[in-house]
Amino acid sequence: MRKIFVGAAWKMNKTVDESIDYAKKLVRFIDDNLSESKYIDVFVLPTFLALYPFSMLMSNSKLKYGAQNCFYEDEGAYTGEISPMHLKDIGCTYVELGHPERRNILKEDDSIINKKVIACLRNDLMPILCIGEEERCADIKKVKRFLKNQLFSNLNGVARNDIGKVIVAYEPVWAIGAECAAPVDYIYDMLGYLRELLAKEYGEEAGKDQIIFYGGSVNLESSREILELTNNNGIFIGRAGLNYNFFTGMVKNALNVERNMREIEKNNKSR
């Protein structure tokens, strides 16, 4: 059975106290509802200031946490930057890299993002590599060329035995902050294409087993259909994840999808 991820990056929101209050509620919810689940991972990416308190709150919980960015060196004279080695030291599992806001507002290019991917892998952190086309385009070949170039520029130098430690978050920029997510059939086609690329570059196993999930204006109604896509490993949201009821609703949808997958697997074995 494929794993299902439900994650949220909080962007520059919530004070430390607000983050702790939210995390306490979420830990209780996750531990109460996912104790029997083997295939769902839930994570949150708060601001840097909340990460150390999270390390104490979540040490024995199934809820995981990580950062929204890091630098590409472990230590040194890099004023104001955050070391991936230090993130690992406080128990982070994930680091989000390449979000369109960092690419567009902070002018991070593919070379910088690639260095950060390598730095995360060096420190046993799982990079969540965000890729996606800027505009919706009728020329699908053009979109696919862009995705191919962006994906492999960001993965440059990643060894075959490390590719499985990278998570790919497909986030078409035109769908972020929009009224609704990208069409489900479009998501399915793009995720399938990314798997084809990875299979050709890293082997069939990578194409089949790579963790790839979708992000971009997902609501509770659309999330169920997106989570059911057989080539999708989950949902990654932004500001909507600041709402506890919304985020836990996403997790409940993931639990329903997991139950259905278990039932299908059970029926297949009994034949």
Q: Which residues are catalytic?
A: 99, 171
Nearest to 133 by CA among 151, 160, 156, 111: 151
* Residue 47 contacts residue 13 (beta carbons within 8 Å): yes
Contact between 224 and 4 (Cβ < 8 Å): no
Write phi, then psi, for 241 (nearest 5 degrees). -70, -10
Cβ atoms of 40 and 7 closer than 8 Å: no
Residue 142 CA to residue 266 CA, distance in Å, equals 42
